[in-house]
Amino acid sequence: MRCATLTAEQAHQQQFEELLERHRGIVFKVAGTYCRDPHERDDLAQDIAAQLWRAFSGFDDQRAFSTWMYRIALNTAISHLRDRTRRERHHEPLQEWHDLAAESGNPEDDARLRDLYRCIDRLDAFDRALLVLYLDERGQRDIAEILGISETNVATRIGRLKQRLRKEMER
C-alpha cells in the first residue's frame, strides 16, 4: 500500500519535473526580467520552482501548462520585487549590468540585450509582466488570462508601452 502511494507520488513528481524542464525557459526568463543580480535571480528561480511544485496538485490538465506557469512565475517574481523594494527603500544599490547581457563575442547581440534590459529596468512590475508576455509572443487572450485584465485592456496597454518605449529611445 505504502509502496503504491510512493509510486504515485514519484509519478506525480516526475510528471512535474518533465513539464518544468520543458518550460524551464519561462522560469529563467521571468526571473531574469525581475532580478539583475545572478545570485538573486537563481534564488528567485528556485522560489518560482517551489511555488510551482506547491501548486501543482491543483493544476487542471485541461488547461495550458505554460499559462498556469506564467501566472505563478509572475506572481512570485512581482512579490519578490516588492519585498526587495521594501528592503532597499533606504539603500538603492548601484545598477549592475545583467550577466546575460555580458560580453559574448557578438557586440551587436550584447548591445541589443543591454537595450532590452535598460527598457525593462524603466518599467514597473505590471508593465514588465506585460512586456515579457508580449515579447514571448503570447496571444492577447492568453495575456489577458494570465494578468486578469480584459483583451481590450491588453491591446491598449501594449499600444501605450510601444509609445512610451519609442519616446524613451528618442531621448
Partner 1 sequence: MELDDLKSAWQTLDRRIERQSRLQFQLLRERHLDTVRSRLRRLFWGKIVTILFGDALLYLGIMASIGYRDTPHLLACSLFLLAYGACLIVLGGVALVRIDRVDYSAPVLDIQRRIAHLERKEIVSGICIGLPWWLLWLAIFLLEMKSWAGIDLWLSAPAFVLASIAAGIAGLAISIWAFRRSHTAPQSRVGRWFERRIGAQGLREARRRLEEVRSFEQAD
Residues that bind partner 1 (CB under 8 A): 17, 20-21, 24-25, 27-29, 32, 42-43, 45-47, 49-51, 53-55, 58-59, 68, 71-72, 74-76, 78-80, 82-83, 86, 100, 104, 109, 112-113, 115-116, 119, 124-126, 129, 131, 134-137, 145-150, 152-153, 156-158, 161-162, 165-166, 169
Q: Among residues 10 and 104, whose Cβ is nearest to partner 1?
A: 104
Q: Render the chain in DSSP notation, one character per residue.
A: -HHHHHHHHHHHHHHHHHHHHHTHHHHHHHHHHH--SHHHHHHHHHHHHHHHHHHGGG--TTS-HHHHHHHHHHHHHHHHHHHHHHHTTT-PPPP---GGGS--S-HHHHHHHHHHHHHHHHS-HHHHHHHHHHHTT--HHHHHHHHTS-HHHHHHHHHHHHHHHHHHHH-
Q: Among residues 4 and 170, whose Cβ is nearest to partner 1?
A: 170
How near is the Cβ of 65 to partner 1 at its closest, in Å? 11
Q: Among residues 88 and 109, whose Cβ is nearest to partner 1?
A: 109
How near is the Cβ of 22 to partner 1 at its closest, in Å? 11
How near is the Cβ of 10 to partner 1 at its closest, in Å? 13
Q: Among residues 35 and 147, whose Cβ is nearest to partner 1?
A: 147
How near is the Cβ of 2 to partner 1 at its closest, in Å? 20
How near is the Cβ of 17 to partner 1 at its closest, in Å? 7
Query: Are the C-beta atoms of residues 134 and 122 closer than 8 Å to each other?
Result: no
Query: Given CA atoms 171, 126, 157, 115 in this order, what sign does their dihedral have?
Result: positive
Q: Residue 150 corresponds to which cell in the numbers above?
A: 480584459
